[in-house]
A and B are shown apart, each in its own frame.
Chain A
Amino acid sequence: MKLAGNDILIQSLINEGVEYVFGYPGGAALHIYDAIFNQNELEHILVRHEQGATHAADGYARATGKPGVVLVTSGPGATNAITGIATAFMDSIPMVVLSGQVASHLIGTDAFQETDMIGISRPIVKHSFTIESAKKIPQVIKEAFYIATSGRPGPVVIDIPKDTTAPDKLFDFKPLDSVEIRSYNPPIEPDPKQIERAIEAILKAKKPVIYAGGGAINSNASKELFELNKLLNFPVTNTLMGLGVYPAKEDRFMGMLGMHGTYQSNMAMHNADLIIAIGARFDDRITNTPDLFAPNAKIIHFDVDHSSVSKIIEANIAVFGQVKNSLIELIKQLKAKNDLIDENLIKPWLEEIDKWTELHGLNHELYKENSDKNMILPQAVVQHVYNITEGKAFVTSDVGQHQMFAAQYYHFDKPRYWINSGGLGTMGFGLPAAMGVKLAFPEEEVVCITGEGSIQMCIQELSTCTQYNLPVKIININNEALGMVKQWQDMNYGGRHSESTYKSSLPNFVELVESYGHVGFKIEKNSELKTTLEKAFSIKDKLVFVDIYVDPGEHVYPMLVAPNGSLKDMWLSKDKKV
């Protein structure tokens, strides 16, 4: 079959199973856009800013496990995509970004809308390609999808000079079935001997903790983790990125750990004699001061990425491989030694953890407050949303206090339902990510829990939601300030709120969303909170924006004491430190 470069490109994407391309057209990408016009197998979603395209593709990828695909033009189109690419890179999300480029003969001449996209994106991609000729397109697309989705996933950029997609030059098009890259062989199966060593340590542990992160979700290892813990009955904590990989409703689940983790999770990690890290990378929001981290713990680290192991915390036993495959091997070997598991060995430990939970665990009944004498608590908003959606919604979020409240008080029983920018902490992520999730799962409830600061960073996507009729729910936890910044200023800078407030300049969000054709509600009183939220969630065919004014003085607790603190050093309220 003879095709032009632009058609070869689109056909190659279709062959990869791509349903949606999120993008924005422009000069260097126009040949490609013409090829999109001439087919009806993949749908292009026109966003309002390229950052929105990357986050939407990212949300789609996190919810489905399939790679998100982005198409932007050269120059500003490409640079606008950078924040979203970095977001996906930090959280190891599979994504393929196609960026238009000026024609080959113009590269290096400072041509109109020319920028060195490969150079600019280099530190934040797993890999990148420049298309040298139309003939190479099938190979490059195949390699890009393979690299983006295998091993530790990540974003891949393909820079496409305009001449390589010219419609007037035809080439033989032969689809490729598979691809091999001799210099890229990510580990899959674990070394059984390392698993044996891990089991030896597991059987001896008196104070074990399972610490599972986003890598376990990327590897689709949720079922295996659950099965493993049916054998072990160990306490489990999840990172911010790992929420949902182990069901929150299970007795052994202690909640999130780290900077704003639960008291019991942080205490258990600090006092553990064995930490089983599964697809988690000991980042600084988890360890607090690395030298003070879990002083008595042996570390078993399961990961697909060699460079994540012993990077911050030295692992005693390292198991390289796809986490799912490693857990399958672990379960197999453990079952053969089932009679050696002594349940009594960890009983005092479980009791100790229960005591911590009782002592300073989170209060999950704040939603019961309905007196108008008090302002609405942001935590209670999340609890109501959890109750009304019966814990079954996809929840995307932005960055700040509302994100932490969502992570603490919405309980996730399944992986891929909690969609947030954990590593990069990108404000503006929530709404476009929700669009990507809603396109993938149109029948499911998709809620964006955000704040009035974050939502304004990608608020232009309200227009995209109108165009494609994406009835997501936006819960705007409005404290009329950059809450997390203000919290740090309260705690560490003598309450000097430098550039963190803008109260008098906020828009009327209800009128704003109505101008896009959406529905808006404003809530200011506790007595109206439940009924108005219920009304909002009863509307199924429209985007609903609920603007909720909460107590602006509220802080997120627990909060690790930093700098120089360990995991046991926490603020539990404004005046209580342990």
Chain B
Amino acid sequence: MMQREILVILENKPGALARIVGLFHQRGYNIESLHVDPVTDIENYKDIEVLLNLKLKENEVSKLLITTTVSDNLLRQILRQINKLIDVLIAKEEI
């Protein structure tokens, strides 16, 4: 078990954040800290654009940083569950 930081890029739509927070509760995971912002500094997300093969526009997506203390296996499961959410573009461990 160790503390991890998860980065989520998701569509900036009403209700999108609630789905992620709800998922942590439903699956019995704990959120230690949460930070959310609309993405305005597109130039810092070139790697994500390449990874997803798309162009981001200012304020169109949000960035979520979540810290949680979990094992490797549980982290993988959490990331897969978050990635499954329809509004999520990508969820990955921020190293």
Residues of A within 8 A of B (CB): 118-119, 122-123, 126-128, 130, 147, 181-184, 305-307, 310-311
Q: Which residue of B lies closest to A182 (CB)?
A: B54
Using C-beta atoms within 8 Å of the partner chain, give the interface range for chain B.
Answer: 20 to 34
Q: Which residues of A contact B19 (CB under 8 A)?
A: 122
Which residue of chain A has the shortest Cβ distance to B88 in the bound complex?
A183
A127 to B81, CA, bound (A): 13
Contact string against A for B residues 18-44, beta-carbon threshold 8 Å, 1 for contact and 0 otherwise: 110010001000000000000000000
> Given known contacts A127-B86, A181-B86, A183-B87, is B80 in contact with A306 (CB within 8 Å)?
yes
> Distance (Å) between the CB of B62 and the closest chain A CB?
12
Select A306's contact among B14, B84, B86, B89, beta carbons within 8 Å. Answer: B84
Q: Are B84 and A307 in contact (CB under 8 A)?
A: yes
Provided the pairs A182-B54, A307-B80 are in contact, do residues A122 and B87 lie with their beta carbons within 8 angstroms? no
Looking across the interface, which residue of chain A has its beta carbon closest to that of B87? A183
Q: Is B83 an interface residue (CB 8 A)?
A: yes
Residue B5 lies at the interface, judged by CB distance under 8 Å to chain A? no
User: Which residues of chain A come closer than 8 Å to B26, judged between CB atoms?
Assistant: 123
Binding site for A on B (CB under 8 A): 10-11, 14-15, 18-19, 22, 26, 52, 54, 73, 76-77, 80-81, 83-84, 86-89
B89 touches A182 (CB 8 A): yes
**Is the Cβ of A147 less than 8 Å from the Cβ of B84?**
no
Instruction: Compute how far the CA of A552 lies from the CA of B15 in the bound complex, rounded to whole angstroms.
Output: 50
Please name all residues of chain A whose beta carbon is closer than 8 Å to the beta carbon of B22 when the two chains form the complex: 122-123
Q: Pick the residue among A118, A123, A181 that contacts B15 (CB under 8 A).
A: A118
B83 to chain A, nearest CB (A): 7
Residue of B10, B77, B83 near A311 (CB, 8 A) is B77
By a CB distance below 8 angstroms, the chain A residues around B81 are 307
CB A66 to nearest CB in B, in angstroms, measures 21
Chain B, residue nearest A126 (CB): B86
Of B10, B19, B81, the most chain A CB neighbours within 10 A belong to B19
Residue of B nearest to A311 (CB): B77
Interface SS majority for chain A: mixed
Distance of A480 Cα from B19 Cα, bound (Å)? 43
Contact B11–A183 (Cβ < 8 Å): yes
With a 10 A CB-CB cut-off, give which of A122, A147, A183, A307 has the most chain B CB atoms. A183
Residues on B with C-beta less than 8 A from A127 are 86
Q: Considering the chains assembled together, what is the distance between the CA atoms of A147 and B11 in angstroms?
A: 16
6 A-B pairs, CB-CB below 8 angstroms?
A183-B11, A183-B88, A306-B84, A307-B77, A307-B83, A310-B76
Q: From B22, which residue of chain A is reached at the shortest CB distance?
A: A122
Q: CB-CB < 8 A to A119: which residues of B? A: 18
In addition to A122-B22, A128-B15, A183-B86, 4 A-B residue pairs with Cβ atoms within 8 Å of each other are: A127-B86, A182-B89, A183-B10, A307-B77
Q: B14: which of A130, A181, A184, A305 is its contact (CB, 8 Å)?
A: A130
Q: Are A122 and B18 in contact (CB under 8 A)?
A: yes
- B52 neighbours in A (Cβ, 8 Å): 182
Using Cβ atoms and an 8 Å threshold, which residues of chain A touch B84? 305-307
Q: How many Å from the CB of A443 to the closest CB on chain B?
A: 38
Determine the distance from Cα of A136 to Cα of B10 in the docked complex, in whole angstroms: 21
Question: What are the 3 A-B residue pairs with the smallest beta carbon separation, nearest first?
Answer: A307-B80, A127-B86, A306-B80
Complex-state Cα separation, A184 to B22, whole angstroms: 19
Bound-state CA distance A126–B18 (Å) is 14
How far apart are B27's CB and chain A's nearest CB, in angstroms? 10
CB distance from B24 to the nearest CB of A (A): 11
Q: B86 contacts which chain A residues (CB < 8 A)?
A: 126-127, 147, 181, 183-184
Closest residue of chain B to A123 (Cβ to Cβ) is: B26
Least distance between A567 CB and chain B CB atoms (Å): 22
A residues near B10, Cβ cutoff 8 Å = 183
- Contact assessment for B18 and A183 in the assembled complex, using a CB-CB cutoff below 8 Å: no
Nearest-CB distance from A295 to chain B (Å)? 19
Bound-state CA distance A181–B87 (Å) is 9
A183 lies within 8 A of B89 (CB): yes
What separation, in Å, do the CA atoms of A427 and B83 have in the docked complex? 33
Compute how far the CA of A310 lies from the CA of B80 in the bound complex, rounded to whole angstroms: 11
- Give Cα distance in the complex from A127 to B22, angstroms: 13
Chain B positions within 8 Å of A128 at CB level: 15
Residue from A123, A181, A306 in contact with B83 in the complex, judged by beta carbons closer than 8 Å:
A306
- Rounded to whole angstroms, the CA-CA distance of A118 and B80 in the bound complex is 23
Question: Chain A nearest CB: distance from B32 CB in Å?
Answer: 21
CA distance A128 to B16 in the complex (A): 10
Q: Which residues does chain B contribute within 8 Å of A118, judged by CB atoms?
A: 15
A306 to B82, CA, bound (A): 11
How many Å lie between the Cα of A306 and that of B10 in the bound state? 19
Q: Which B residues lie within 8 Å of A182 (CB)? A: 52, 54, 89
When C-beta atoms are compared, the residue in chain B nearest to A306 turns out to be B80
Chain A contacts for B73, CB-based, 8 A: 310
Q: Which residues on the A side are within 8 Å of B76 (C-beta)? A: 310
Rounded to whole angstroms, the CA-CA distance of A307 and B54 in the bound complex is 24
> Which residues does chain B contribute within 8 Å of A122, judged by CB atoms?
18-19, 22
User: For the complex, what is the distance from the CA of A184 to the CA of B81, rounded to whole Å?
Assistant: 13
Q: How far is the CA of A306 from the CA of B54 in the complex (A)?
A: 22
Report the minimum CB–CB distance from A500 to chain B (whole Å). 30
Docked CA distance A310–B79 (Å)? 13
State in angstroms the CA–CA spacing of A118 and B87 once bound together: 15
Could you tell me the distance between the alpha carbons of A306 and B79 in the complex, rounded to whole angstroms? 10
Interfacial chain B residues near A183, Cβ < 8 Å: 10-11, 86-89
